[in-house]
Amino acid sequence: MPKSLDRTAFLSEPTRLQIAELCSEDDLTDEEIAAALGRSLGSVSAPRTMRAHGALIRGKTRKATDGRGAAKTSRFNPASVWTQALEEAQRQRWVDRPGSSRDLLLISLRETPAACAAIAAGIPDIEWGAQLGGERTGLVVAPQVDRDGASTIRVMEALGSEVDVVRLHLDEVMSPPELRSWSARVAPSRSSAGELPSSS
């Protein structure tokens, strides 16, 4: 591994960060990593790159799923220089996206237990979630940000058709002056009924 490698920047790449988080929880084969990412094995080169740079190390060897030979697994490197880099990359993910345009999924209080059962089983496309206080809504889930909304679709499919989800799109967060300016344009006397100007 080059001595000049910026470990935090290396792990901040979205796919590597997701793999680091997955392999911090369990020893996984490359096939399992690809499946967790919702991709084919041939399209995922990040595990090899991460092993070459020391972010992943070999984990426990176990029997292959087909019963033939042994399956090699990887785990996130527990050395402090890597765990600290992972923590910083996770922190920067929040700092860098305070106002990112993104989807949010609202789940009713009644259906939160069913949604939690699916989430507990593992939905890798979720970036964060939060319990909500109130009479009707129990949970908000934020899919990972991508350009085409594919992560949102995968999360909704993973939650299952029995969980009724309200999909919202959060536009750029506005500062107080920006909010006042935008509100002035939205005020009834200055905007057409049923139409909202963009906040960006």
Q: Is the residue at 164 inside a domain?
A: yes
- The pLDDT of residue 71 is 83
Same domain, 39 and 82: yes
Report the C-alpha gap between 112 and 117 in whole angstroms.
9
| Assigned token pair, 148 | 């085409």
Which residues constitute the domain of residue 165?
102-173
Query: Which of 48, 78, 95 lies at the terminal end of a domain, its last residue?
Result: 95
Same domain, 78 and 134: no
What is the amino acid identity at position 35? A
Same domain, 88 and 135: no
Look up the pTM and report it.
0.51
> Do residues 105 and 155 lie in contact, with contact meaning Cβ atoms separated by under 8 Å?
yes
Report the C-alpha gap between 12 and 7 in whole angstroms.
8
From first to last of the 200 residues of the chain, give the pLDDT tens digit.
445 789 999 999 989 999 999 999 899 999 999 999 988 989 999 999 999 999 999 998 887 666 667 889 999 999 999 999 998 888 777 655 545 578 999 999 889 999 999 999 889 889 889 998 877 888 999 998 877 788 999 999 999 988 989 998 887 777 677 778 888 888 765 545 556 666 55
Paired with 62 in beta bridges are 71
Residue 64 sits in a domain whose CATH number is: 1.10.10.10
Same domain, 52 and 132: no
Same domain, 18 and 87: yes
Report the C-alpha gap between 170 and 103 in whole angstroms.
6
- The pLDDT of residue 106 is 93
Q: Is the residue at 59 inside a domain?
A: yes
> Do residues 142 and 183 lie in contact, with contact meaning Cβ atoms separated by under 8 Å?
no
SS (H, E, C) the chain: CCCCCCHHHHHHCHHHHHHHHHHHHCCECHHHHHHHHCCCHHHCCHHHHHHHHCCEEECCCEECCCCCCEECCEEECCCHHHHHHHHHHHHHHHHCCCCCCEEEEEEECCCHHHHHHHHHHCCCCEEEEEECCCCCEEEEEEECCCCCCHHHHHHHHHHCCCCCEEEEEECCCCCHHHHHHHHHHHCCCCCCCCCCCCCC
